[in-house]
Amino acid sequence: MSAPPVDAVHSPSLDGRSSERPVDRVGRPPGSDPGGVRLQAARAAAARVADPEIPVLSIDDLGILHDIAIDENGRVLVTILPTYSGCPATGVIALGVVTELAKDGFPDARVRLGNTPAWSTGRMSEAAREKLRACGISPPGRASGKRALFAPSPGVDCPRCGSGDTERISEFGSTACKAHWRCRACREPFDHFKCV
Amino acid sequence: MTPALPPASSDPRAAWLMRLGDATLILGCRMTEWLSRAPTLEEDIALANLGLDLIGQTRALYARACEIEGGTRDETALAFRRAEPDYRNPLIVEQPNGNFADTMVRHLLFAAWATPLYERLVASSDMETAGVATRSAREMAYHLRHAGEWTIRLGDGTAESHAKAQDALYDLWPYVPELFEADDLDREAAASGFGVDPSTLRADFDAAVDAVLARATLKKPAELRGQRGGRSGRHSEHLGHILAELQFLQRAYPDARW
């Protein structure tokens, strides 16, 4: 068996939109990027994209935004890591990245869905966990993997009153990444971001 | 003896990934049939999420297979432009949903097979495949737990739920042996370090299923020779109906886009 192709680009839904492509307003010669200024600007533009299902979090907060590169023609390639395999937000996020980059003078950006490293809730920043709690979603535990999945007491605290006296209503909640829980102290139902 | 059908892809690694993707796609389609018909709202959402995971895994598996093939087709073409004999899913995933116990027992058997498969595939020599397997293994662990909990509740529930769960086991067990039968493609994929030999998964499957059945007070059926053929392209009558619904739009309006 021969070696697999490296860095194959996978963005079928984003290609074939040539009639809508914006004009490059920056107009620099392709490939020149003294001091990595353009790369930083591209990263900042992509980092503005919010998760459509949890708008308080950016894709940078979630650890979905993985890598940004600019090729010799000045074209930006963004690698994002899908959270759950079937997450319907992935396509919207990819579209958002292309749109935000175009706004900041990076037309024709491509988005690649990366499989390595596999996304896990461990990639979420501490600030992201706080933002989740503040908007009423209990953040995932810090551990990931099998031990976290099958822990006898996952220690889910109510994001509203802080009580640890909570119970799971359903393993599967409003989105692929959330479970449905209830607080026995304040009686409020809430979403819990699942640990993977 | 029916002559052997040609392989699903000229590249054995792509063919191996496609076969796994066929299994997750067809079971994913079956799970979506439950939408708006599940016994409770929470379970409706759960079944939809299980289907979504499976279809998402399919996309990643197909996409990687297409990259390995050299990019002449994409995952959409694999899902919508192939006929029954090109699909290589095991027969169990195309079996009708039946009642809720039938679906949950089918899912338990599938997840008890797929979970150790993905866990082993994490060690694939192909980094992209290993990454897909890492994410999928975590998802399948949720599937195994969910289907296991329901099987226990049904088996250890009322006389009627127990009888339905036990009937589901008897009906579906003939499709179990096929899951673990390695063919040349499996052996080649495993020997090269790319894939997994399904015959190595049986002990893990039995351990997971036995633990659930014991708590569910359900009997493990005797293993007869069983039904097979899906993994080599020979299917039950059910697959054509699933593909008819799945593929209608792309066949009626080729290359239609949103």
Ordered by start, the domain boundaries in chain A are: 12-113, 122-193
Could you tell me how many CB contacts below 8 A there are between chain A and chain B? 107
Q: Closest CB to A86: pick one of B56, B68, B257.
A: B56
Q: Where are the domains of chain B?
A: 12-252
Q: Closest CB to A171: pick one of B59, B75, B146.
A: B146
Per CB-CB distance under 8 Å, the chain A contacts of B146 are: 171-172
One-letter amino acid at B157 equals G
A180 and chain B in contact, CB less than 8 A: yes
Locate the chain A residue with the closest alpha carbon to B52.
A86
Residue A55, token pair as written in the block: 């708008």
Mutate to test the interface with A, among B29, B75, B124, B135 (most CBs of A within 10 A): B135
| Band (A26; pLDDT cuts 50, 70, 90) | very low
A170 and chain B in contact, CB less than 8 A: yes
Q: Is there a contact between A85 and B46 if contact means CB atoms under 8 Å apart?
A: no
Locate the chain A residue with the closest alpha carbon to B12.
A1
pLDDT at residue A147, as a whole number = 46
Q: Is there a contact between B135 and A115 if contact means CB atoms under 8 Å apart?
A: yes
pLDDT at residue A173, as a whole number = 82
Looking at the predicted structure, is the pLDDT value of residue B215 above 80? Answer: yes
Q: In 3D, which of A7, A13, A4 has the Cα closest to residue A94?
A: A13
Report ipTM for this prediction. Answer: 0.79
Looking at the predicted structure, is the pLDDT value of residue A114 above 60? Answer: yes
Q: What is the pLDDT of residues B76-129, one digit of tens each?
A: 999 999 999 999 999 999 999 999 999 999 999 999 999 999 999 999 999 999
Domain at B12-252, CATH from 1.20.1260.10, 3.40.50.620, 1.10.3720.10, 3.40.630.10:
1.20.1260.10
Contacts of B144-148 with C-beta under 8 Å, sequence gap 24+, read B144/B108, B144/B111, B144/B112, B144/B115, B144/B208, B145/A149, B145/A150, B145/A171, B146/A171, B146/A172, B146/B46, B146/B50, B146/B107, B147/B104, B147/B105, B147/B107, B147/B108, B147/B111, B148/B108, B148/B111, B148/B208, B148/B211, B148/B212
pLDDT at residue A174, as a whole number = 80
How many Å lie between the alpha carbon of B76 and the closest alpha carbon of chain A?
Answer: 9
Lowest mean pLDDT among A174-178, B13-17, B133-137, B150-154: A174-178
pLDDT at residue A32, as a whole number = 65
Per CB-CB distance under 8 Å, the chain B contacts of A113 are: 60, 63
Q: What percentage of residues in chain B have a pLDDT greater than 90?
A: 91
Query: What is the DSSP annotation of A23-92?
Result: P-SS-PPTT--GGGHHHHHHHHHHHTPEETTEEEEEHHHHT-EEEEEE-TTS-EEEEE--SSTT-THHHH
Residue with tokens 């209830």: A182
Contact partners, residue B190, CB within 8 Å, separation at least 6: B182, B196, B197, B200
Per CB-CB distance under 8 Å, the chain A contacts of B116 are: none
Looking at the predicted structure, is the pLDDT value of residue A92 above 90? Answer: yes
Please provide the average confidence, as pLDDT, over all residues in chain B.
95
Per CB-CB distance under 8 Å, the chain A contacts of B74 are: 12
Contact partners, residue A162, CB within 8 Å, separation at least 6: none
The pairing of strands A65-70 and A166-170 is: unpaired
Domain at A12-113, CATH from 1.10.530, 3.40.1350, 3.30.300, 3.30.1760:
3.30.300
Per CB-CB distance under 8 Å, the chain B contacts of A86 are: 49, 51-57, 59
Measured from the Cβ of residue A72, the count of other Cβ atoms closer than 10 Å reads 7
A9 and chain B in contact, CB less than 8 A: no
Is the torsion defined by CA of B191, B192, B196, B198 positive or negative?
Answer: negative
Looking at the predicted structure, is the pLDDT value of residue A19 above 80? Answer: no
B107 and chain A in contact, CB less than 8 A: no
Per CB-CB distance under 8 Å, the chain B contacts of A174 are: 45
Q: What is the pLDDT of residues A144-169, one digit of tens each?
A: 444 444 444 467 999 999 999 999 88
Per CB-CB distance under 8 Å, the chain A contacts of B63 are: 10, 113
Residue with tokens 């940004």: A68
Q: What is the pLDDT of residues B144-203, one digit of tens each?
A: 999 999 999 999 999 999 999 999 999 999 999 999 999 999 999 999 999 999 999 999
